[in-house]
Structure 1
Amino acid sequence: MYNRQVPYCPYYMNQDAYHSFNTKWRIEAQKFAAFSGVVTRIEDFSSSPRDISGGCYKLMSLESKDMGPVNFVISPGTYFVNHEVVEVGDKVTGFYDANAPAILIYPPQYPAIVMAKDTEYENVIVDYFDNQLINSTRNLKLNISPSTDVILTNDQPFNRYPGDRNLIVVYGPTTKSIPAQTTPYKIIVLC
């Protein structure tokens, strides 16, 4: 005879609670890492010669004095802060998902989530901010003012409280407190 095994869970699982937990865990578990450097090369990136998305993906190479070279795969979904065009020679910071699997090649290659051109008077951070608007490393707190633009990646207004979300924050000076506090110029909500 044959053994008929039926998978089952011996415990009752509330599917609604599971979905909520899984979504919350996924949002909080995504950790962003950053790499800053000078753009040394930008070229088309395709996975095969007959790739129908030819020209839609770019490979951007950055070089840092301290960290060496890194390649970023720029997709149509990569968000460029202030929609600035990046060229060879620009100083930029690329943000990527630190928990995502990466191919083992040299130089390292990451899919870019956000790219920001470095400027003298603006800082950019991509991180998870809790309900008190403190980031995941607990070293930056946001104080929203009426002049702070809170928008989506498509530049449409975001009309809810931006806490408990992954955010792109463009800000200037900070206090010397712990955590440092700032009034951001712009908050972009990553939905």
Structure 2
Amino acid sequence: MANYSTVYGNVGSVTPFHTTVSDHSCSLLISVNTQSMGQINFVVSPQTFVLEQHTFGPGEPIIAIYDTSVPVPLIYPPQYQAVVLAQNSFGYRAALNYFDEDLLSVDQTMKLNIPSDGSTQVLLVNGQNFTYNPGDHYLFILYMSDSMNSSTEVTPRKIIVFCYPDE
């Protein structure tokens, strides 16, 4: 099972990603400056989910999530394949994890509390409303750090449900 890590920082640069001189791929390299880890580069491919299809520019606050189980080149600065990117103008915290039908993450570090008042947006990756229990899916969640009610309970502001073709 995938294990995701979240990075918070500011975009340093956005450049085309080339593996050869004649490469005209559809990938980008986003350099992110972080307080805790310095510079980190993220390869953004057509398969990367970008929340609200935001176009990033230098200086913007960003959330980047990558899969720690994917092999990476041993280079500096480190370079990871981005799985999810989101603009972070409001100082959100984020997570990508598999949540069971009770909305408990598979690593049991987070339990989601979804209020019945509709204050939490639950969307599909295409931006459409998801009207069922989002459990039993991989979920990308955005929440405010002050929404931690206990050591594990989180009230997200937004949930993106990742469905797979056989669902």
TM-score range, shorter-chain basis? 0.7 to 0.9
Conserved? CA contact 1:116–1:124, under 8 Å = no
Partner SS, residue 147 of structure 2: coil
Is the aligned partner of 1:115 residue 2:88?
A: no
Identity of aligned residues (%): 36
CA spacing shift, 1:89–1:52, aligned 2, 3 Å = closer
| Equivalent residue for 1:162, pick from 134, 137, 142 | 134
Corresponding position of 1:79: 49
1:135 to 105, 111, 115: 105
Task: Identify the residue that residue 4 of structure 1 maps to in structure 2.
Answer: none
TM-score, with length taken from structure 1? 0.74
CA distance in 1, matches of 2:11, 2:107: 28
Asked if the contact 2:52/2:127 (under 8 Å) is kept, the reply is no
The 2-side partners of 1:136 and 1:92 are apart by 25
Q: Which has the higher helix share?
A: 1
Residue in structure 1 matched with residue 125 of structure 2 by the alignment: 153
RMSD between superposed Cα atoms in Å:
2.0
Question: Of the two structures, which has the highest relative contact order with CA contacts closer than 8 Å and spacing of 6 or more?
Answer: 2
Q: Could you list the runs of 5+ residues in structure 1 that have no partner in the other structure? A: 1-28
Question: Which residue of the partner structure matches residue 74 of structure 2?
Answer: 104
Q: Per-residue deviation at 1:73?
A: 0.3
Shift in Å, 1:74: 0.7
**Can you list the C-alpha shifts for 1:12-49, whole angstroms capped at 9, x where unaligned?**
xxxxxxxxxxxxxxxxx111012222211110112223
User: Structure 2: how far apart are the matches of 1:139 and 1:114?
Assistant: 20
Matches within 5 A, 1:20-59: 29-53=1-25, 56-59=26-29
1:145 partner amino acid: P
* DSSP-derived class of the 1:73 partner: strand
Quick check: which one's strand share is greater?
Answer: 2
Q: Which is higher, the Rg of structure 1 or of structure 2?
A: 1
| TM-score scaled by length of structure 2 | 0.83
Instruction: Count how many residue pairs are aligned between Structure 1 and Structure 2.
Output: 160
Structure 2 alignment gaps of length 5 or more = none
